[in-house]
A and B are shown apart, each in its own frame.
Chain A
Amino acid sequence: MNIGRLVKKAQKGNDKAYLELFQQYEADIYRMAYVYVKNKNDALDVVQEVAYQSFKKISTLNEPEYFKTWLMKITINCALNVIDKNKKVVQLIPQFEVHTGAEVEDIETSLSLRELMDTLHEDEKSVILLKYYNDRTLKEISEILEIPLGTAKSILYRALNKLRQNLKEVENYGK
């Protein structure tokens, strides 16, 4: 069944149709969330929250063809919320507990994925993910993130520079 039809059904409150629809994107949502929150449990929380919020608001989506874009936007917002919340919580946790390395054990991360997650600031992650993972143009990115086109561009270049810089350092280190 096509996406447009599933969206329409979901808008009428059909949760089975929405689940069928949402399933097609859950892996993407999970991976995007992971890049921000850097651990499995928080990323799963984000997925659940995105499923919850998006189904609640599905009736407000006027054009079904923007469904994926709309979902990605919700994903980014949810991920940022989780990070904010964690920042507040982290202050209450003694330092030694933060360094248990739990997030590293979750996944066998390659250097560049790890880099991507650790080097970049949140807004840079958003631009990079939308551009290279979701194949969005800069103009679309500026609309999704609600920032001026010029700002989107400069964030992208800043992010790429950071990563290149990092790569160089790693290469030099290896020599």
Chain B
Amino acid sequence: MENNFKQEIEKIEIPFQLHERSKKGIQEAKSEMGGTVKRFVKKRIAITVIAACLMVPTGAFAYQSLLADDLYGSFDNVKKHIANITMKSYLLFDAKLSQAKGNLGKEQYEQFKEVLYVITNAKLEFGDKNGNIDYSQVPSENLEEIKAALYDIQPYFDKLNDELSSKEVLTAEEFEQYIQALITYETVMAKTGVSSPPEIEMVPIDLREEFINARNVLEYVNEKQRVN
């Protein structure tokens, strides 16, 4: 008789509203707890993604002396490829570059610029109107090159973001996952057609799982960089 219990209880049918109700309970609690933690995490993800995706800058740019021009040619050139770029983000990008120049030392900066060049080029060539690349559409020989650049550049970004180097706090395998997650994240953003990290509801259903996995990896890395 006892063995029968489990089977009997399994006969209780699960109503379709079940998941919705779980969610409702959690959201209710969440709203009473205040959203500070979440916002913090979200902001950090945005930073990572922006840094990684590299700053698709926008901008109007009138000053030929901008460092960003070295990479992109000119704002007009960027604007031709990446429609949603704004002057503000272009200038932000330029500011990051100036900071990099100051922080990295001449030789490091040269290396940084070289790697960055690969990425900015890829943005112009393969990015959508927001500058996000759908990596699944990139020819394999280009893909290899971009990937390699992402590996090399991430430690520089960490440094510019005043973070511990992700390459150092992660194991080799985790770092690999991290870069892969950044690629997936950007691909989902490109496929979703958004310019900033989307809410999960906005992501097409078939992409949600990989998106959540990628996001979890990014959160994990963020945490790691903070805790260590």
Contact = CB atoms under 8 A, between A and B. Distances in A.
A109 B10 CA distance: 11
A47 B33 contact: no
Given A18-B26, A44-B21, 4 more contacts: A13-B35, A31-B12, A47-B25, A107-B11
Interface of B: 1-6, 8-15, 17-19, 21-30, 32-33, 35-38, 41, 200, 212, 216, 219-220
Contacts of B220: 5
A44 B18 contact: yes
B216 A19 contact: no
Nearest to B3: A132
A55 B5 contact: no
**How many of chain A's residues touch chain B, expressed as a range?**
35 or more
Interface of A: 1, 5, 9, 12-20, 22-23, 26-27, 30-32, 34-35, 40, 44-45, 47-53, 55-56, 107-110, 112-113, 116, 128-129, 132-133, 160, 163-164, 167
Nearest to A13: B37
B6 A132 contact: yes
A100 to B, nearest CB: 20
Contacts of B11: 107-110, 113
Contacts, number: 118
Given A27-B14, A31-B12, A44-B15, A51 B21 contact: yes
| CB-based closest 10 A-B pairs | A51-B25, A13-B37, A132-B5, A52-B25, A48-B25, A55-B29, A113-B8, A48-B21, A56-B29, A15-B30
B35 to A, nearest CB: 8
Contacts of A132: 2-3, 5-6
A53 B22 CA distance: 11
A112 B8 CA distance: 7
Contacts of A31: 9-10, 12, 14
A154 B168 CA distance: 58
A175 to B, nearest CB: 19
30 contacts: A13-B36, A14-B219, A15-B27, A17-B216, A26-B22, A27-B18, A30-B15, A31-B10, A31-B14, A34-B12, A44-B15, A47-B21, A47-B22, A48-B21, A48-B24, A48-B25, A49-B25, A51-B26, A55-B25, A55-B26, A56-B32, A56-B33, A107-B11, A113-B11, A116-B9, A129-B9, A132-B6, A133-B9, A160-B1, A164-B1
